[in-house]
A and B are shown apart, each in its own frame.
Chain A
Amino acid sequence: MRYLLFALALGMFPTLGFSFEVDNRRIFSAQTESQVLKVISTADLDLFAGVIEAFQSQNPSVSVDYFEVSSTELVKALVEDDAQFDLAVSSAMDLQTKLANDGMALPFRSEFTAQLPEWAHWQDLVFAFTQEPAALVFSARDFDRQSVPRTRQDLIAFMRSHPMQFKNRVGTYDIRSSGLGYLFATQDARTSETYWRLAEVMGNMNAQLYCCSGKMIEDVGSGKLAFAYNVLGSYAAAQTNNQDDIIIVEPSDFTTLMLRSALIPKNAKQPQLAGLFIDHLLSFSLEASKAGDFPFPTLQRDVLEQETALRPIRLGPGLMVYLDRLKRKNFLKAWENAILQKQ
């Protein structure tokens, strides 16, 4: 091994003088270290390790200090704590956009960023490098692979006709605590009125609320849930141990695509190195030969022409609307009314 791995899997540990919570941290040491790249990210350390190691094989003198945090803690670290990081990677597109909008990001330009489609970057500040569908995950015990509902309307009809089968066995994000869940829900609501009818019906079934995709997929696999709504399809596909127990469906009426994105925080010490890392992230999508080594679904530059059902969430100021205090309050109220049925 050319470099040593330090696993500091301490769950939550205090970060000197800072108040943000770190879920996981690892230092990917270079053998002859000359530079250190500090990355703060919402991506699962285990998923991301391969990407970092590939980067280090090209840049052997760079150590990477990787902090895994939740999307809200990421914002807290950069905005409130003013912590120094060289790169921020997050699935919370709205928060990334707001960081950039509020002047917290440094511009970066390269031949890779120039190849990104319009919808996959915002200014020279935020760059998307994955496209991950919000999928339906069904339990193979309850559904047949051939006849599984493929649209939200079908799903609503199915639940209405089999209420007993679904009672307490429908799972979705608790959007009050999950940033990604909130992002998916707001985009769904923006795209189609069907979302509210679906939420209503899921509420009727006494939907189970989850913090994260992993647990939901697990419960679908075990048969505790008949299906889960708006699960990160990429996570579901990655959980290989229960592939036979689950059926992953990308709804054909429309499938929202979350774009994982990276930006260089304004107090980065190694902005150039961070840029190099962004190029590395983009290269998986832009260079066909590397796509297989990537733990995430790569960006499809022509996705808009190919599949009309796929809707990438657009990076841009529009996303900031849902971060508005009052807007969020209104949306959560409507959602609670539908899902929790507590009129």
Chain B
Amino acid sequence: MNDHVTATRSIRRRLIVRLLASAAILAVILFLVVQSFGRQLGQESQDNILAASVTSVLDAVTVQDGALNVDIPYSAFSMLGNISDDRVFYRIEQNQAYLTGYEDLPFAEGLTTESQPAFATEQYLGEDIRLVTASRKLSLNNQPVVVRATIAQTRNGQKQTLRQISQTVLFLGIGFFAIAMVLTFYAAQSTIGPLRRLAASVSRRGPQDLRPVESPVPSEMVPLVRSLNQFIGRLKKSLSQSEEFIAEAAHRVRTPLATVRMQAEVTLRRVERDENREALREMIRAIDESSRAAGQLLDHAMVTFRTDHLVVESFDFQVLVDELVTRLRPIAELKEIDLGWQMGKPALIKGDAILIQNAVRKLIDNAIKYSPTESSIKLTLSQGRSGISLQLIDQGIGFPEKDFELLTDRFVRGSNAQDTIGSGLGLTIADDVANAHGGSLELKNNTEGVGACVTFYLPLR
């Protein structure tokens, strides 16, 4: 069976990668949005307090004794100190001429109306400052004067707050991502859950279990399961067809051959001339050979087919051997060969009984075939810790010395088997069956005396 399936990247991995990527993108967006929101908010609160400050300064502008007087309220600056420890600068002008404060302080351009202060971010004394400029019109000696006040503050407090917000949001983002990660794994796991369950339930099935999948599956998997069920159906059909075909073929080949052989024998009795009789004997031998070859070929086809679909069940190996011995004893007795077999302890084993029976039959068959008349064959079943082995010892011609291993190959016959009818498939079948069960077939000659010693080993699993 071919277990190799080309795998592309797993669905779970893909799901996880995509979900995590989107979670990461969301976390970054969250971070950036909240950060810019925080920046805006910080800016706004600083602007608000600067505006309040500049308003209170402008409110304190009065005309006294024909001159402008500015009496800056204490709160104008102390309120700035209340929100942060930032440095404060100011400048007050009358009709664009310096009145008091920091003479070189920049001011915000684009002052439109009196009620709307203008804001700007500038550099002053080597630091970033946020400044507000507002103006107020007064009448001085019946002449309009414009008083313009600018209040500025460094932005360290705001930057500090922003740093804190950024840090908090960073943790928030990381936390968000962590939670998303957990959820992602969970989601991926539960998404492929039904797929896994399906795979598990299908691979858990025995080889003979060809029922369609009936447990409910998510709608996305319905087409897959439907095709799978159809496929199972086709497989089931073709399996039963092959089995039927093999049985049918065996029947169709053997029946006419048997008829031909019978006719040949009948004819042989009637024919008198020696050369004709010889020809008929040759014919009968060829028919026997064909019949045997057909039988072996069909057995081999059956074994090959079945080893792909082992029907594993538990059975007593000893009983199996016993039945075979009983069935084959008459054949052995034709050659006056004694089949030595004794029942012992039960030998339970797991495997395909039909195949094993077939294999053992081939081995007993060989032993009988390659033994002389009036000899004996000894069968012993021995049970070890890891497996059970059946040993067959005969007193026949034994295996030829060279090319031992090749005898299990298809259609290979030994040099010692010229006179016997055979097709070279018996050991192939026995070996295939042993291998299909994880066991082995060992061929050797008896160390003492003549004959072959064949060991058929099956592991217990």
Q: List the B side residues contacting A122 at CB < 8 Å.
A: 85
Q: Is the beta-carbon distance between B88 and A320 smaller than 8 angstroms?
A: yes
A247 to chain B, nearest CB (A): 32
- Given A123-B85, A327-B71, answer yes or no on A318-B100 (Cβ-Cβ < 8 Å): no
CB proximity of B62 to chain A, nearest CB, Å: 10
Known A-B contacts A101-B87, A103-B127, A317-B88; A326 and B70 likewise in contact (beta carbons under 8 Å): yes
The answer on a CB contact under 8 Å between A190 and B100 is no
Q: Chain B, 74-92, contact with A by CB distance < 8 Å: what is the 0/1 string?
A: 1111101100011111001
- Tell me which of B72, B88, B125 contacts A327 (CB under 8 A): B72
Instruction: Pick from B77, B89, B125, B126: contact of A318, CB below 8 A.
Output: B77
Residues of A with C-beta under 8 A to B75: 318
Q: Is B99 an interface residue (CB 8 A)?
A: yes
Chain A window 312-327, contacts with chain B (Cβ cutoff 8 Å), 1 for yes, 0 for no: 0010111011101111
Is B69 part of the binding interface, using a Cβ–Cβ cutoff of 8 Å?
Answer: yes
> Judging by beta carbons under 8 Å apart, are B87 and A317 in contact?
yes
The answer to whether A326 and B100 touch across the interface, beta carbons within 8 angstroms, is yes
Question: How far in angstroms is the closest Cβ of chain B from A283?
Answer: 23
Report yes or no: A326 in contact with B71, Cβ–Cβ below 8 A.
Answer: yes
Contact residues of B between 136 and 158, Cβ < 8 Å to A: none
B73 touches A (CB below 8 Å) = yes
Give the residues from 294 to 343 in chain A that come closer than 8 angstroms, CB to CB, to chain B.
314, 316-318, 320-322, 324-327, 330
Contact partners of B101 in chain A: CB under 8 A: 324
Give chain B nearest CB distance to A303 CB in angstroms.
19
User: In the complex, what distance in Å separates the CA atom of A310 from the CA atom of B49?
Assistant: 29
Chain A nearest CB from B430 CB (Å) reads 91
With both chains docked as a complex, state the minimum distance between the C-beta of B84 and any C-beta of chain A, in angstroms: 9
**How far, in whole Å, are A103 and B78 apart by their CA atoms in the complex?**
19
Are B78 and A318 touching (Cβ within 8 A)?
yes
A102 within 8 A of B: yes
Residue contact A103 to B81, C-beta cutoff 8 Å: no
Q: For A100, what are the chain B residues with a Cβ–Cβ distance below 8 Å?
A: 87
Q: Which chain A positions have C-beta within 8 A of B76?
A: 321
The answer on a CB contact under 8 Å between B87 and A321 is no
Smallest beta-carbon distance B128→chain A, Å: 13
User: Assuming the A-B contacts A103-B126, A103-B127, A326-B100, are A321 and B77 also in contact, with contact meaning beta carbons closer than 8 angstroms in the complex?
Assistant: yes
Interface residues on A, range: 10 to 19
Interchain residue pairs with CB less than 8 A apart (25): A101-B87, A101-B88, A102-B125, A103-B127, A314-B78, A314-B81, A316-B77, A316-B78, A317-B77, A317-B80, A317-B81, A317-B86, A317-B87, A317-B88, A320-B88, A321-B78, A322-B74, A324-B70, A325-B100, A326-B70, A326-B71, A326-B92, A326-B99, A327-B70, A327-B71
Least CB distance, B461 to chain A, in whole angstroms: 75
Interface pair B88/A324, CB less than 8 Å apart: no
Report the bound CA distance from A318 to B76 in whole Å: 7
Taking CB as reference atom, which chain B residue is nearest A315? B81
Q: Determine if B77 and A326 form an interchain contact, defined as CB atoms under 8 angstroms apart.
A: no
A339 → chain B closest CB, angstroms: 19
Cβ contact within 8 Å between B72 and A103: no
**Which B residues are in CB contact (< 8 Å) with A327?**
70-72
Chain A residues within an 8 Å CB radius of B100: 324-326
Q: Chain B binding site: helix, strand, loop or mixed by DSSP?
A: mixed
Contact residues in B for A190 (Cβ distance below 8 Å): 74
Distance (Å) between the CB of B260 and the closest chain A CB? 116
Judging by beta carbons under 8 Å apart, are A317 and B70 in contact?
no
User: 5 closest A-B pairs (Cβ-Cβ)?
Assistant: A318-B78, A317-B88, A316-B81, A317-B77, A103-B125
Q: B72 — which chain A residues lie within 8 A by C-beta?
A: 321, 324, 326-327
User: A114 to B454, alpha carbons, bound, how many Å?
Assistant: 95
Q: Which residues of A contact B127 (CB under 8 A)?
A: 103
Alpha-carbon distance between A320 and B88 when the two chains are bound, in angstroms: 9
Residue in chain A with minimal CB distance to B124: A103
- Give the chain A neighbours of B92 by CB distance below 8 A: 326
A316 CA / B81 CA spacing, docked (Å) = 6
Within 8 A of B (CB), among A84-116: 100-103
Q: How far is the CA of A100 from the CA of B85 in the complex (A)?
A: 11
Closest chain A CB from B80 CB (angstroms): 6
Contact bitstring B44-76, A, C-beta under 8 A = 1, else 0:
000000000000000000000000011111111
- Complex: A325 Cα to B78 Cα, angstroms: 18
Neighbouring B residues of A317 by C-beta, 8 Å: 77-78, 80-81, 86-88
* Chain A residues within 8 Å of B69, by CB: 326, 330
Kindly report which residue of chain A lies nearest to residue B102, judged by CB atoms: A102
Q: How far is the CA of A5 from the CA of B156 in the complex (A)?
A: 44
Contact with A along B91-113 (1 / 0, CB 8 A): 01000000111000000000000
- B154-207 contacts to A, CB under 8 A, are none
Known: A320-B88, A324-B70, A326-B99. 16 other contacts (CB 8 A): A101-B87, A102-B87, A103-B127, A316-B77, A317-B81, A318-B75, A318-B78, A321-B73, A321-B74, A321-B77, A321-B78, A324-B101, A326-B72, A326-B92, A327-B70, A327-B71
A330 near B71 with CB under 8 A, answer yes
Residues in chain B near residue A320, CB distance under 8 A: 77, 88
- With a cutoff of 8 Å between Cβ atoms, the chain A residues found around residue B71 in the complex are 326-327, 330
Shortest beta-carbon distance from A196 to chain B in Å = 14
* Nearest A residue (CB) for B73: A321
Closest to A121 in B: B85
CA distance A321 to B126 in the complex (A): 23
In the bound complex, what is the Cα–Cα distance between A101 and B77 (angstroms)? 12
- Give every chain B residue within 8 A of A326 (Cβ-Cβ): 69-72, 92, 99-100
Contact in complex: A318, B81 (CB < 8 Å): yes
Chain B 119-130 against A: per-residue CB contact (8 Å), 1 yes, 0 no? 000000111000
Residues on B with C-beta less than 8 A from A325 are 100
C-alpha gap A322/B100 in the complex (Å): 12
Q: Which residues of A contact B85 (CB under 8 A)?
A: 122-123, 316
Q: Report which residue of A101, A122, A316, A317 has the largest number of chain B beta carbons within 10 angstroms of its beta carbon.
A: A317
